[in-house]
Chain A
Amino acid sequence: MNNFEIKKQPQKYDAIVIGSGISGGWAAKELCEKGLKTLVLERGRPIEHRTDYITEHKAPWDFDLRGDLTREEKKEYSQNARIGYLDKTALHFFAKDSESPYLEEKPFVWARGYQVGGKSITWGRYTFRISEMDFEANKMDGNGVDWPIRYNDIAPWYTYVEKFAGISGEKLGLSHLPDGDFQKPMDLNVVEKHIRKRFQEEYNDRYLTIARAAVLTEQIGDRAPCHYCGPCWRGCSTGSYFSSVSSTLPAAEATGNLTIRPYSVAHSIMYDKNSGKASGVVVIDSETKETIEFNADLVFVCASAMASTQILMNSKSDTFSEGIGNTSGVLGRYLMDHHLGLEINATMPGFEDKTTMGNRPVGFYIPRYRNLNGQEPMSEFIRGYGWEGSAYRESWGKAYGLDGFGADFKKEVQQAGPWQVGMWGFGETLPYYDNHVRLHESETDELGIPKLVFNAEIKDNEKSMRRDSLATMAEMLEKAGCQDIEAIDNPAGAVPGFGIHEMGTARMGRDPKTSYLNGYNQSHEVSNLFVTDGACMTSSPCQNPSITYMALTARAVDYAIDQKKKRNI
């Protein structure tokens, strides 16, 4: 992409999109394809598809420290290093905490991707629809506010984005994990198939399936099926997984309507009191430190959940002293993330004449099996959790657990160990008013933007859910024939932000007094302002959420353009 805007007296655009990650990329594609001259503001650096995947296909020995971070790098990433898997192979796609400070009133890991494509380059790629049960949950149990939409409102949009993104997976016919428009699934391995079969024999409500993922098994345009090299998060030259850089931004660019401006930090959204609309975005060029105003008819905020809310809060005017569209004061509240750190490790005896070949970038998924419609509700907790995992032959990591050294030791390490099963759970977090972000009163970053203060934690419902999840999964694996089952509640993984599924803080709802957005991701108060990333979420169903942001974004653009035609915006 070479059409970067460098003019200081820019034209007026039809639309501005803040952010170029999963949501921003979709907003850009949909707006451009519908003929709107669209400016995408990206605070980070430009990324060229293929060329800038500098660690792709490198072997471990190509890294002189074999992926370890240096002392200096650990300091630069002092808060994010807690994620645990941050290493040299993808470090360049994560923002430095030292350059992008935030404050933890309570512990919070804020992972950010400051580049064109945002976190869509490094995301986990799992894509599960949320269901009618999820959309009804707040209303049924009285937590949070009712979602202003139901499954049928979003279902056609799921199909629309799935066809373009390319989702491989298996249809299961479950109402709580609706099927989509899938490419052929990747294969489960022999032990995973065995566990699946044992679950089917033992339970009528528990399934193991290959995870539905935005990784191709069939060609789409110039995007090739997966070649099974493994570490998608380094970038993929064949475009085999969905990212903004491989998929939506090229489609947007092909229309001739797209301008991407990197190094453009959105400071605030301008509000025009006379028209009652957003008039554009104030940008600080992070290279020149210039402040530039860009004007547009429509503003889509897709900066990632927490950053979007930060920008909205920082958009203060006579009309909106607490942030644009925030008369309700709800902005920043009801922060959610999936709680992780539910870890299971087990051994599966047998199958020792079998192994696998190829680095499959997708594991298995065990959909939620608690508090489903038709089941007796749990007394200990509401909502539920799902599990991800994989089965594999124990490899050279066994060396750490073996006594001794020398030739016999080496020989033993060379032979595969038993089959192991590794799993990690994702739990839903309820929307709590207390869990919030806010702007710090005085501390700013080097560009003068107030730092974000995080104050969120899991509470009793999540803690009860954690106990149940570990106990039930240990029992299920035992019934499946596993041994040496370790079920660990790792509190580090329950720190909000660790899931990198931040949701809420500008939630959708029916009532402008208790929600920020309506059912079309449109600000209740500012009609040409839309927020379509994770900030919009009214609850946090345990499914990986990105496909929902894609669908909501495409739906919101469709609505915005319709309203614009009708001159309602």
Chain B
Amino acid sequence: MDRRFALKNLTLSGMGLALSPALLSALEGCTPAYDPGYVLQSLSPAQDQLLAQLVEIIIPTTETPGARAAGVNQYIDRVFARVSEPNEKTKFLNGLDKLSETDFLEMNEVEQIETLRSWEKSSDPLESEFFSTLKDMTIYGYYTSEIGASQELKYVHATGFYNGDLPYDEIGKNFY
């Protein structure tokens, strides 16, 4: 894990960092990705299954894992359970239910993408607002996940220095 490596380097380089018990347990406490044992807090299993496919279409697996592997559907489930206001949740679930009526999961991938594209551009606010909420939550959930932040992007923790004039090619992609 990058952070452990960084911290180890810190102590080795004589930064005087004492690893407290709290710090050590913080390092062990990651919930980095999709959790097969996850207990749904606001969505039904069917809604979760549909959502997992939707987030994967928004940010798919390429050379790096996509939003499903990053557990973004589970993150969204937690947000609706604990963060969002009830009316926001209702609105989102209405969109999800309408999409499930199209037998979305039975479609092939091209059809699924077509459907989402039509929702993105839809004049029906239920469809376009659902899409925009789905996309925004997927973006946030993915790029703040361990996969998104440290595999897809470059995650640096405690470098011990600041370089304000580094050739971009040495990194070649965005930092988290």
Q: In the complex, how many angstroms separate the beta carbon of B39 from the nearest chain A beta carbon?
A: 13
Question: Residue on A with the closest CB to B83?
Answer: A68
Assess whether B157 is interfacial by the CB under 8 Å rule: yes
- B23 x A56 contact (CB < 8 A): yes
| Interface hits, A200-252 → B, CB 8 Å | 222, 224-225, 227-229, 237-238
Of residues 413 to 448 in A, which have CB atoms within 8 Å of B's CB atoms?
A: 413-416
Residues 95-127 of A, flagged 1 when their CB comes within 8 A of B and 0 if not, give 000000000000000000000000000000000
Q: Cα distance A393–B163 when bound, in Å? A: 13
Interface size of B as a range: 35 or more
Tell me if B160 is interfacial: C-beta within 8 Å of chain A.
Answer: yes
User: Could you tell me the distance between the alpha carbons of A416 and B167 in the complex, rounded to whole angstroms?
Assistant: 12
A51 touches which of B22, B59, B140, B166 (Cβ 8 Å): B22
For residue A257, give the distance in angstroms from its CB to the closest CB of chain B.
Answer: 26
CB neighbors of A among B125-176 (8 A):
135-136, 139-141, 143-146, 148-150, 152-153, 155-169, 171, 173-176
A189 touches B153 (CB 8 A): no
Residues of B with C-beta under 8 A to A192: 164
Residues of chain A within 8 A of B149, CB atoms compared: 59-61
> Within the complex, what minimum Cβ distance (angstroms) separates B97 from chain A?
21
Cβ contact within 8 Å between A354 and B168: yes
Do A357 and B22 touch (CB < 8 A)? no
Chain A contact residues (Cβ within 8 angstroms of B): what range? 35 or more
Contacts of A164 in B (CB 8 A): none
Which chain A residues (336-386) contact chain B, with CB distance < 8 Å?
352-360
- A61 and B163: CB pair below 8 A? no
Task: Choose among B79, B136, B143, B165 the residue that contacts A396 (Cβ–Cβ < 8 A).
Answer: B143
B168 touches A352 (CB 8 A): yes
Tell me the bound Cα distance from A181 to B30 in angstroms. 42
Which residues on the B side are within 8 Å of A186 (C-beta)? 162
B17 touches A224 (CB 8 A): yes
| B57 and A406 within 8 A (CB) | yes
Q: Does B104 contact A (CB under 8 A)?
A: no
Task: Please provide the chain A residues from 44 to 72 with a CB less than 8 Å away from any CB of chain B in the complex.
Answer: 50-62, 64-71
Write the B100-123 contact mask toward A (1 if CB under 8 angstroms, else 0). 000000000000010010001000
Tell me the bound Cα distance from A53 to B149 in angstroms. 23
Q: Would you call B26 and A56 a contact (CB within 8 A)? A: yes
Partner of B22, one of A54, A67, A352, A354: A54
**Additional 17 contacts, C-beta under 8 A, given A71-B83, A356-B162, A410-B152:** A53-B22, A59-B150, A59-B157, A65-B78, A71-B85, A187-B162, A227-B158, A229-B158, A237-B23, A238-B16, A353-B168, A354-B166, A355-B171, A357-B166, A393-B175, A399-B139, A410-B66
A–B Cβ pairs within 8 angstroms, 30 of them: A50-B18, A51-B22, A57-B26, A59-B150, A60-B145, A62-B30, A65-B75, A66-B141, A66-B144, A70-B83, A189-B164, A225-B15, A227-B17, A238-B17, A353-B168, A354-B166, A355-B171, A357-B162, A358-B160, A393-B174, A396-B139, A399-B143, A404-B120, A405-B135, A409-B58, A409-B59, A413-B139, A413-B143, A413-B174, A415-B173
